[in-house]
Structure 1
């Protein structure tokens, strides 16, 4: 019975089902979720978080997703919707605590020019008072599982896998995700230290 209860509090949605007509409908669903979330805590170890992506970076990521999943190609529409999601970053009453692995700064998504534009954008958004951006260094001690996830307030946690998404609303599991986030946040660099990591990666991309 305990196992059944846990399954009921954990929902798995395959991408091939949720994105059967393309990726844009999923992005619209995420937009609605983010609009209703007051505290967004997101950790991604090797990609820039969607709400912080430039259009060029987003197109490169979404294009790769379309190719891998083999879903209908709605690249223009889904990119437009993803960029619309970022409007919530300027809405009062919302707080964003973002953690990104340093590997995301080094990884080439699209081209080095796209990466340079993306990292310059990261530096700019750090001035937004609603956003706390931490960079977890590559040499940080391993203290918690590293899979990416999003916490929507204290009501839901979601994790994207290769084949789909897991959404959890079990309070115990949400608390475990929050604990993991706090551990990683304690290892992250902020402010000037984070800017130095971003600027170093930016210069590396510009030199290529």
Structure 2
């Protein structure tokens, strides 16, 4: 089954409630996967980076402005990285290291955060090189948890629960994961991005 809900409806009370919902999902889901081609995965975002993202959401969609509360909830959700009870496999596109969110200082801090957390036991973080060849057509990012895939589109959030569709998403994630750089190779790509943003 596939369902979609417009963002104006999901964010009708602002960003805090939906971030609180995501906090609950993460607490209840011991293992998840995410493919994020053009930005930094929310659970690894710095406070400054998250503030810019949620500010853009509020202004673009014209929903109630509770950005500080939404950012606080996004930071709360990151506790799952440190509690020893969760595991996440995440592939970030190399482009995500260069998508300008807030300018040089914000991006430098964000790259430093990735380098700091890449070796967490709870995290399998891969960077998909911009020129990597992989065995699936280019696609938007998605988050996977038990029995569900979530997409964030321009106008709505899409949830997929059909078993055959979930299997295709696992296959797609395996393809990008197989082409991604991990460990020292991933650190090298993040380090290059850090050097780039340090010039800004």
Same fold (TM over 0.5): yes
8 Å CA contact 2:134–2:179 kept in 1: the answer is no
- In the superposition, the TM-score normalised over structure 1's length comes to 0.93
**Separation in structure 1 between the aligned mates of residue 132 and residue 2 of structure 2, nearest angstrom:** 30
8 Å CA contact 2:134–2:176 kept in 1: the answer is no
Shift of residue 142, structure 1, vs aligned partner: 5.0
The Cα offsets for residues 16-47 of structure 1, whole Å up to 9 and x where unpaired, read as: 10101101100000110111112110001001
The Cα offsets for residues 120-167 of structure 1, whole Å up to 9 and x where unpaired, read as: 0000011211100000000012532321001103x1111110011111
- In the superposition, the TM-score normalised over structure 2's length comes to 0.97
Query: Does residue 133 of structure 2 align to residue 141 of structure 1?
Result: yes
The Cα offsets for residues 34-82 of structure 1, whole Å up to 9 and x where unpaired, read as: 1111211000100100000000000011111111000010011001111
Match of 1:5 in 2: none
8 Å CA contact 2:134–2:175 kept in 1: the answer is no
Correspondent of 1:11 among 3, 15, 18: 3
Task: Give runs of aligned pairs for residues 128-207 of structure 1, distance below 5 A.
Answer: 128-144=120-136, 145-153=138-146, 155-207=147-199
| Equivalent residue pairs, number | 199
**Separation in structure 2 between the aligned mates of residue 140 and residue 128 of structure 1, nearest angstrom:** 25
Match of 1:23 in 2: 15
**Separation in structure 2 between the aligned mates of residue 126 and residue 101 of structure 1, nearest angstrom:** 15
Correspondent of 1:53 among 42, 45, 51: 45
1:16 partner SS: helix
Structure number with larger C-alpha Rg: 1
Shift of residue 11, structure 1, vs aligned partner: 1.2
**Separation in structure 2 between the aligned mates of residue 40 and residue 148 of structure 1, nearest angstrom:** 14
**Separation in structure 1 between the aligned mates of residue 4 and residue 149 of structure 2, nearest angstrom:** 12
Match of 2:86 in 1: 94
Q: Which runs of 4+ in 1 moved over 6 A?
A: none
Correspondent of 1:74 among 62, 66, 81: 66
Correspondent of 2:109 among 117, 125, 129: 117
